[in-house]
Amino acid sequence: MANQEIKMETKKSPIINIAHMTKVFPGVKALDDVSMDLLEGEVHALMGENGAGKSTLINVLTGVIPMDSGTILYNGQKAEFHSPQQAQQAGISTVYQEVNLCLNLTVAENIFIGREPKKLGAIDWKKMNADAAELLERFDIHVDVKEQLSTYPVAIQQMVAIVRAVDISAKVLVLDEPTSSLDEKEVQQLFSVMRRLKEQGMSIVFITHFINQVYEIADRITVLRNGKFVGTFDTDKLTYMNLVSTMIGREFEEMVAEKKTEIDYSKSPNIIELRNFGKKGKIKPLDLEIKEGEVLGLAGLLGSGRTELARLIFGIDKNDSGVIYVHNEQIKRMYPQKSIKLGLAFCPEDRKEDGIFGELSIKENIVCAYQSSIGVLQKIPKSKQEELANKYVESLEIKTPSLNQKINKLSGGNQQKVILARSLATQPKMLILDEPTRGIDIGSRTEIQKMILRLAKEGMTILLISSELEEISACCDRVVVVRDREMVAMLEHTEVNESSIMKKIAQGGEN
Amino acid sequence: MLKRLLENMKEKKLLWPSVALLSICLINFFSIPNFFTIVVKDGHLFGSVIDILNRSSVLIIMSIGMTLVIATRGIDISVGAVAAVSGAVACTMIDAGQPLFAAIAAALMVSMLCGIWNGLLVAKLGIQCMVGTLILMIVGRGIAMLITGGQIVTVTSEAYSYLANGFLFGLPFSLFITAFVTIVILFFVRKTAYGLFLEAAGTNPSATKFAGINASNIIFIAYVISGVTAGISGLLISSNIKAADSIHAGHWKELDAILATVIGGTSMLGGRAYIGGTIIGALFIQSITTTIYAMGVPPEITLIVKAVVIIIVTLMQSDELRMMFSRLRKSERLTI
């Protein structure tokens, strides 16, 4: 990896130098020997799919969590911050996606909170408001500083946060996905603030999922994948395609399974049929047929609309246009209980947030979805529960000392298997898997991938959402590509390979 | 064997509440003569222990409903007021010459409506539980006063008084009511899948969607049950004093019920519902009160004594504190 480090420009010197940073969480290496440097007066994009380690890197850098090994040089001196406050005092400020300001205070109060200008021991409101207005003027932000912050859109709030950080003598600014909830005009406003800061010699770390924006604003790009450093690149020397491929990765891990036998599913009956099906702001209306027995891939970058489509099909969100047919029967209103009754099951992407019932046992976590499908009054007898749980603990090789173990205590990979077991226990005809191997160790990852193929061979219909292209191309018969909340391509089974998927994901932006 | 029992109690969170209850009993055994003596008078059992059990009934019943609500990450601070409404309905109807069963049935129906109201606000309309139930906490006593016409309605019905003051097979009748309510709710929670869904919804509401569990219905039912249990407690309170006192009936009882639940091991963060623990918690709270009176603690400091005891018990339950202690012990060992 060392050969990928780029030559430093003569004028600029690194303000931050991170070397061999490693951070291990139970069951997963969040950062594995990551090195990068940040130059004075540059906008440095930090990219990678979810779980790549971007947030962990920032959290370690700004003192939210300690690192296990490695060094940070700040202004050429060894530094390790023990809290975000310490980092801030040293000049490293972070502005998060969710603005952490006080929405109920005025703009001026937010900028000066904790360091209000005083006159005779009391707050000098006049000076505070004047100073705040002047500060914002400098960045071309025209707002009434005496208004409550909550009356302004998120973009303004974010810029207020940035201005506040800058005013507290920041030398390095970390922007964690600042643009994810902004519209195009607001993004441009933010970028003009960023450019101005850059001219003043500020170094900016810019985390985002939006590739277009990176090309617009960033000087250099550092890519992380699965906690590993992939490389730092000059933006103008890295093509769109190459960026996507470095983010998603092409190295084959020990993917043992051979591809499914080539069966043509086009004559098979539809299990799901979507006509003009979509929801505003989630996914543009689309037509799609999912055939019985096939593995349909849903590929695209994060935020492209892939999870949103799956949630609409399962009925967690309601579509506002089009119709859905399940087994050729039109369903007026899909909702999760109904979906399960119709033979659908959903393993969500965010295991902690949407998957596990942390306080409950493995057994309870496995049986609950099946129990909900047969109703609350008819409780599954204890012996049957144990039999069911045992069956899946064995067949999915879930490593646990007992069925009564709290699921919290398991590793990520084993938790994922329990969630999979919960879905399988409902005996579904179609399984929706949203990033089934994200953020888990390589061992469990391979096991889960094998399991997907085994289920497919046994005739299960699977809708597989994944950012791992090798996973998609190894498992899927057909692949739907989504980009910017729109279906942009359908690859039939002869066309399914990594480079074709990658092309479709990247192309959308260049058309 | 003993170790297994201890492990099991720890698992079910019964260990620390039981230790607390046992220590109170021990203190009483040594400091209050004849604390455990039970005498037979007129074929009825009498004694401090029986008295505590009898007086705990109101709190136990109320706290069981509270436990279900708290397990959903919620809270129901209207239970004291609902108890007052229930007593007001029953006493006013009996006073007006209605049959006893109609009066009780009406009181329970009204309590259930109170629960439905709370459930609608919190589970269906998504109002913050504290705020949602605060409404009924305030307006409940107003409704009770409206029903009783602002008076304390006294009843002379012997049958009604029997609920709280009567004896059956030598034991206070209220114990049978408590046992009945406990068994019915335990049956509903543990023998149907309701408990599983309740605990799932309390642990991780957003995951219930993917598992096909209708969390809002489950939470709604918890509030309805809490309303009904509060109503039953209200009947016992008014039966005990043979009157409906809209202002004082069940006053501050909601706080005792929350405390009993928490002492019993159910977390305010939701998740597991420990009904057994709650019963022990309620008995513990009643024991302290009785003990304080029996020991002749001057009335002006009883509240402070109660608070100190509760602080000790809650500290005992703190995992954090226990970890600090074990760390201290470890570091001591290291330095030696």
For residue B48, being part of any structural domain is answered with: yes
DSSP secondary structure, A177-189, as one string: STTTT--HHHHHH
CB contact under 8 A, B210 and A359: no
Cβ atoms of A164 and A139 within 8 Å: the answer is no
Collect contacts of B35-40 with beta carbons under 8 A, ≥24 apart: B35/B294, B40/B170
Q: How confident is the model at residue B330 (pLDDT cuts 50, 70, 90)?
A: low
Domain region containing B244? 13-27+44-318
Among positive and negative, which fits the CA dihedral A410, A416, A418, A419?
A: positive
**Contacts of B326 by beta carbon, 8 Å cutoff, 6+ apart:** none
Q: How far is CA A367 from CA A427, A461, A500, in A?
A: 12, 21, 40
Residue A95 CA, distance from chain mean position: 18
Q: What is the dihedral of CA A446, A451, A456, A457, to 10 degrees?
A: 100
CB atoms A380 and B210 under 8 Å: no
Chain A partners within 8 Å of B203 (Cβ): 357-360
Residue numbers in B near A348 (CB within 8 A):
207, 210
Of residues A304 and A286, more confidence is placed in A286
Measure the CA–CA gap between A370 and A373, rounded to whole angstroms. Answer: 5
Residues of A in contact with B206 (CB under 8 A): 353-354
Question: Residue A435's closest CA among A325, A334, A336, A301?
Answer: A301
Return the pLDDT at A8.
43
Taking contacts as CB-CB distances below 8 angstroms, the residues of chain B near A339 are 212
Q: Does B330 reside within a domain? A: no
Structure-model confidence comparison of residues A382 and A241, the more confident one: A382
CB pairs under 8 A between A and B: 85
Q: What distance in Å separates residue B213's CA from the closest CA in chain A?
A: 6
Q: How far is CA A322 from CA A123, A284, A290, A327, in A?
A: 58, 11, 16, 17
Q: Considering its fold, how many domains does chain B have in total? A: 1
- The residues pairing with A157 across neighbouring beta strands, listed in sequence order, are none
Q: Which residues pair with A461 in a beta bridge?
A: A430
DSSP state of A403: T
Q: Tell me the β-bridge partners of A182.
A: none
Collapsing DSSP to helix, strand or coil, B96 comes out as: coil
Chain B, 169 to 208: residues with Cβ < 8 Å from chain A are 191-194, 196-197, 199-200, 202-204, 206-207
More confident residue, A88 or A386: A386
In B260-279, the residues whose Cβ lies within 8 Å of chain A are: 271-272
Residue that is written with structure tokens 């023998």 in the block = B191
Tokens in use for A222? 């550092």
Of B191, B203, B211, the CB nearest to A369: B211
Q: Which of B72-86, B219-233, B319-333 has the lowest mean pLDDT?
A: B319-333
Higher pLDDT, B8 or A416: A416
Q: What mean pLDDT value characterizes chain B?
A: 85
Residue type at A325 in one-letter notation: Y
B191 to chain A, closest Cα gap in Å: 7
Question: B26 and chain A: CB distance < 8 Å anywhere?
Answer: no
What is the pLDDT, as a whole number, of residue A509?
Answer: 44
Residue B139 lies in a domain: yes
Taking CB atoms and an 8 Å cutoff, what residues of chain A touch B207? 348, 353-357
ipTM over 0.95: no
Shortest CA distance to A468 belongs to which of A209, A180, A253? A253
Task: Judge whether B34 lies within some domain.
Answer: no
Q: Residue B329: is its pLDDT beyond 80? A: no
Which residues, 6+ apart, have CB-to-CB distance to B99 below 8 Å?
none
Rounded mean pLDDT of chain A? 82
- Predicted confidence (pLDDT) per residue in B93-116, tens digit: 888 888 888 999 999 999 999 999
Distance CA A435, CA A433 (A): 6
Flag whether B336 is in a domain.
no
Neighbours of A118 (CB within 10 A): 11
Taking CA atoms, A145 is separated from A26, A100, A104, A164, in Å, by 46, 18, 13, 13
Mutation test of the interface with chain A: which of B196, B219, B268, choosing the one with the most A Cβ atoms within 10 A? B196
Task: Report the distance separating Cα B115 and Cα B140, nearest Å.
Answer: 12
Sign of dihedral through CA atoms A318, A322, A326, A332? positive
All residues of chain A having their beta carbon less than 8 Å from the beta carbon of residue B211 are 336, 368-369, 372, 422
**Confidence tier at A353 by pLDDT (50, 70, 90):** confident
Residue of A nearest to B271 (CA): A359
Q: Is the pLDDT of residue B180 over 90?
A: yes
On the question of pLDDT at A74 being above 70, the answer is yes
Percentage of chain A exceeding pLDDT 90:
3
Q: What is the pLDDT of residues A472-481, one digit of tens each?
A: 887 888 889 8
Do the Cβ atoms of B75 and B136 come closer than 8 Å? no
Percent of chain A clearing pLDDT 70 (strictly above): 90
- Select the residue of B197, B202, B272 nearest A376 (Cβ to Cβ): B197
| Three-state SS sequence of A136-150 | HHHCCCCCCCCCEHH
A457, two tokens: 């061979």
When pLDDT is cut at 50, 70 and 90, the band that residue A44 belongs to is very high
What is the rounded CA–CA span in Å between residue B251 and residue B87? 13
Question: Could you tell me which residues are beta bridge partners of residue B324?
Answer: none
Residue of A nearest to B191 (CA): A379
Q: What pLDDT is recorded for position B86?
A: 93
Does A354 contact B214 at a Cβ distance shorter than 8 Å? Answer: no
- pLDDT tens digits for range B215-224: 899 999 999 9
* DSSP codes of every residue in A473-508: HHH-SEEEEEETTEEEEEE-GGG-SHHHHHHHHHHH
The pLDDT-based confidence of A98 (bands split at 50, 70, 90) is low
Mean pLDDT within A485-505: 80
Q: For the packed helices B215-241 and B100-119, what is the interaxial angle rounded to 10 degrees?
A: 140
Q: By the CB < 8 Å criterion, does B156 face chain A?
A: no
Residue B207 within any structural domain of the chain: yes
CA distance B259 to B75: 12
Contact predicate A43/A196, CB 8 Å: no
| Run of H or E residues at B172 | strand B171-172
Q: How far is CA A81 from the centre of its chain?
A: 26
Question: Measured between alpha carbons, how far is B205 from B198 in angstroms, rounded to an integer?
Answer: 10
Would B4 be classed as within a structural domain?
no
Is B33 inside any structural domain?
A: no
> How far, rounded to the nearest angstrom, does the alpha carbon of residue A219 sit from its chain's CA centroid?
23
Over residues A156-199, the pLDDT tens digits come to: 888 888 888 888 767 888 888 877 667 777 788 888 888 888 88
Examine the pLDDT at A252 and tell me if it is beyond 50.
no
Average pLDDT over residues A210-225: 86
A223 forms beta bridges with A47, A231
* Residues of chain B with C-beta less than 8 angstroms from the C-beta of A371: 193, 196-197
Q: What pLDDT does residue A51 have?
A: 66
Location of structure tokens 């603005």: A99
Tokens coding A460: 């299960």
Q: What is the pTM of this model?
A: 0.71
Express each pLDDT in A115-149 by its tens digit: 788 887 888 888 888 888 888 888 778 888 888 88
- CATH classification of the domain holding B160: 1.10.3470
What does the pLDDT look like over A428-443, one tens digit per residue? Answer: 989 999 888 876 666 6
Q: Using the beta-carbon criterion (under 8 Å), do B207 and A353 form an inter-chain contact?
A: yes
Closest CA to A283 of A22, A426, A14, A465: A465
Residue A5 pLDDT > 60: no
Taking contacts as CB-CB distances below 8 angstroms, the residues of chain A near B72 are none
Instruction: Assess contact for A435 and A467: CB atoms under 8 A.
Output: yes
